[in-house]
Amino acid sequence: MLTVEDLTVAFGPTTAVRGVTLHAAPGTVTGILGANGAGKSTTLLGIHGRVPRSSGRIVLDGQDVTGHDTRALVRAGLALCPENRRLFPGLTIEDNLLVGAHGQGRKVRRQRLRGIYDRFGWVHARRAEPAGRLSGGQQQTVAIARALMSDPRLVLLDEPSSGLSPVAVDEVGEALRDIARAGTAVLLVEQNVRLVRQLCSTAWVIAHGEITAHGTVAELFAAGAVSDAYLGKATVPPDSGS
Ligand SMILES: Nc1ncnc2c1ncn2[C@@H]1O[C@H](COP(=O)(O)OP(=O)(O)OP(=O)(O)O)[C@@H](O)[C@H]1O
Ligand SMILES: [Mg+2]
């Protein structure tokens, strides 16, 4: 279980995230929904210690990990799959995966690779190819697999469906469902409403850096909170960007 309390992140005079409190439970996919610029990515980066926080407490399975740097957070079980993938295109698929298990012994790394290859057969078949040769959807799958190489208890995912074809979105969705079924908590930032409806049990709605609603996805849609988040308070129309 992840608990984030009172997370605030400012970039100079701009407070991108203000007093965000949220939870994500094991075995479920929890959504973070909101318009472009609402503070979704900054929330994930703040949780993962990639941007300086002005306030905030991060607790993972009862362990306070607030002071941990990114490497220690990964060791504690918190993995981040950032926006726009970020595979190393010149490295092989396997070497990209191994980056996710950095610092582990050879035996553990081999074990985890085997787990990934069992789950994604085509990744095994193409493991020696440069990652840059994969399609967008395939690269996203490898990026998710790389996050899994740290054997996380919680995965933070930032818009995994961005730029993918409907078929590739379904593949990514299937992979995320499997990950949650295996007992991992997934915290998902996603603008693809269909994917949110399919995957997320509950979601947090964020607007202008603050949480404005929380509930089951069905409740949020029924209450209009989701359309408010995407349309009503958007500074940029949601179909003009990612
Ligand atoms: N490194 C940065 N320096 C300055 N401002 C930033 C930085 N990163 C984000 N911001 C600002 O913080 C606010 C929230 O940005 P963030 O990237 O978290 O939004 P988002 O909800 O992920 O949007 P999108 O849906 O477009 O990805 C925006 O106003 C953005 O301009
Ligand atoms: Mg973002």
* Closest protein CA for atom 1 of ligand 1: 11
Using the structure block, give the residue that is written with the tokens 């950032």.
82
Note whether residue 93 is domain-resident: no
* Shortest-distance atom of ligand 1 to CA 14: 5
Contacts with 44 (C-beta within 8 Å, 6 or more apart), sequence order: 32, 80, 82, 156, 158, 187, 189
According to the model, what pLDDT value does residue 142 have? 92
Q: Does residue 235 have its Cβ closer than 6 Å to ligand 1?
A: no
Could you tell me the residue range of the domain that residue 193 belongs to? 2-83+154-232
CATH number at residue 212: 3.40.50.300
Note whether residue 238 is domain-resident: no
Range in 71-75, 216-220, 231-235 the model is least confident about: 231-235
Domain count, the chain: 1
Note whether residue 211 is domain-resident: yes
Q: Does residue 33 have its Cβ closer than 6 Å to ligand 1?
A: no
Note whether residue 179 is domain-resident: yes
Q: Does residue 184 have its Cβ closer than 6 Å to ligand 1?
A: no
According to the model, what pLDDT value does residue 231 have? 60
Note whether residue 175 is domain-resident: yes
Q: Ligand nearest 230 Cα, by number?
A: 1
Q: Ligand nearest 35 Cα, by number?
A: 1
Distance CA 158, CA 160 (A): 6
Which residue type sits at 44? L
Assess contact for 21 and 7: CB atoms under 8 A. yes
Confidence check: pLDDT of 236 > 50: no
Question: 176-227 pLDDT, tens per residue?
Answer: 998 899 899 999 999 888 899 999 999 999 999 999 999 999 999 888 887 7
Confidence check: pLDDT of 240 > 60: no
Note whether residue 193 is domain-resident: yes
Note whether residue 100 is domain-resident: no
Local confidence band at 49 (pLDDT 50, 70, 90 cut-offs): very high
Residue 160 phi, psi dihedral angles, 5° rounding: -65, -20
According to the model, what pLDDT value does residue 238 have? 45
Using the structure block, give the residue that is written with the tokens 């929904």.
33
Instruction: Kindly give the distance from the C-alpha atom of residue 115 to the centroid of ligand 2, in angstroms, as a whole number.
Output: 30
Distance CA 175, CA 242 (A): 21
* Closest protein CA for atom 5 of ligand 1: 11
